Structure 1
Amino acid sequence: MRWRYCRPSREVSLFAIVEGPLVVGEIISGAFRPDCGAVATFIGTTREDATEGARVEYLEYEAYRPMADRKLAEIGREIAERWDVREVRIVHRIGRVGLGEPSVVIVVAAPRRGAAFEASRYAIERIKQVVPIWKREVWSDGYVWVGSQVGTRPAARALR
């Protein structure tokens, strides 16, 4: 995996867009620190879903990587300015992601749990708002591109 470290102030942070499976334990365990009483994690996975007789088979993510890397680091800086946190890790996978597999891991270490929980929630919401990552849901009867991550639009399932 290609890691990008950022040290905006007192915290150590990790922001990465990676191809291939996420090593969740490695991402999380690297955030444990003696000066933090809380490590909050959010792991987004591919959910099995079914509508109108069709079911999700897998997701495919694409990203404009140079800008996505910058935006992830920007989210980390926003978090550092708003909450008392010591470490932020945001790793998002691109490519094919099967059912039950993680596509994003967010880890926030802070002295107190409130800041860790709030910051991790903020991170996933901001990712969906500003990071140029696109998701294609592949269904048993076709596919649909979902949102643009920089201004979503209604999705309509398209057949191949």
Structure 2
Amino acid sequence: MSSKTPKKVFVEGPISPAFISDSIAKHQSKTNIGAHAIFLGQIRADQKEEGVVTGIDYSAYPEMAEGVFHQIREAAFEKFELSCMHIYHSLGLVPVGEISLFVFVSSPHRRPTFEALEYIVEEIKAKVPIFGKELLGDSGAFAWKENS
């Protein structure tokens, strides 16, 4: 169920549990779907040399980044038997413990959801130009986040 129009991906601030729950609930009427897989990227309180991470401030050039998200989406639909896919990523400040990435894929069968989900998350981390500034402690120090 691919769409040729790029979807809006960015959410200001953390992705709320209510938003995630509502997204899942909207799929109950889609009776051709037999499996869903979800990835939730949560901000960790990593210990860095300069202090403990208290949050990440995400920035991007949205039009460019959404173009890359669209390419990843189209490639996943070509590669896997998917019924639908939703990708949301935060912009702005996301405190420790909050969700900054929500990927939700659906298919008639479970195996394609697992394979597609891993593929999509790895492609996002490798290709999408999103920049994360890790905020460290109360000092105002920060470090640019590197994807791993």
- The aligned residue for residue 92 of structure 1 is 89
Counterpart of 1:105, as a letter, is F
2:11 aligned residue (18, 24, 44):
18
Structure in which a larger fraction of residues adopt helix: 2
Instruction: State the Cα RMSD in Å.
Output: 2.1
2-structure distance, mates of 1:119, 1:31: 18
- State the identity as a percent: 31
Higher relative contact order (CA 8 A, sep 6+): 2
2:111 aligned residue (109, 114, 123):
114
- The aligned residue for residue 144 of structure 1 is 143
Q: Unpaired segments of 5 or more residues in structure 1? A: 1-5, 153-160
2-structure distance, mates of 1:18, 1:29: 19
Q: Unpaired segments of 5 or more residues in structure 2? A: none
Counterpart of 1:60, as a letter, is D
Q: Does 1:71 align with 2:64?
A: no
Per the TM alignment, residue 111 of structure 1 is displaced from its structure 2 partner at its CA by: 1.0
Which shifted more, 18-27 or 105-114? 18-27
Give the TM-score taking structure 1 as reference length: 0.79
Per the TM alignment, residue 136 of structure 1 is displaced from its structure 2 partner at its CA by: 0.8
Which shifted more, 122-131 or 82-91? 122-131
Q: Secondary structure at the match of 1:75?
A: helix
2:31 aligned residue (17, 26, 34):
34
Deviation string for 1:70-126 (max 9, x for gaps)?
Answer: 111111111110000010100001100011110010000011111001111111111
Counterpart of 1:118, as a letter, is E
Matches of residues 39-78 of structure 1 in structure 2 within 5 Å?
39-52=36-49, 54-78=51-75
2-structure distance, mates of 1:14, 1:27: 15
2-structure distance, mates of 1:113, 1:72: 23
Q: Does 1:135 align with 2:128?
A: no
- Pair 1:52–1:70, CA change in 2 (3 A): closer
Deviation string for 1:110-153 (max 9, x for gaps)?
Answer: 11111001111111111111111011111125211123x7xx8x
1:83 aligned residue (75, 80, 84):
80
Residues matched between the structures, number: 140
Counterpart of 2:119, as a letter, is Y
1-structure distance, mates of 2:96, 2:70: 28
2-structure distance, mates of 1:88, 1:38: 12
- The aligned residue for residue 156 of structure 1 is none
Q: Secondary structure at the match of 1:40?
A: strand
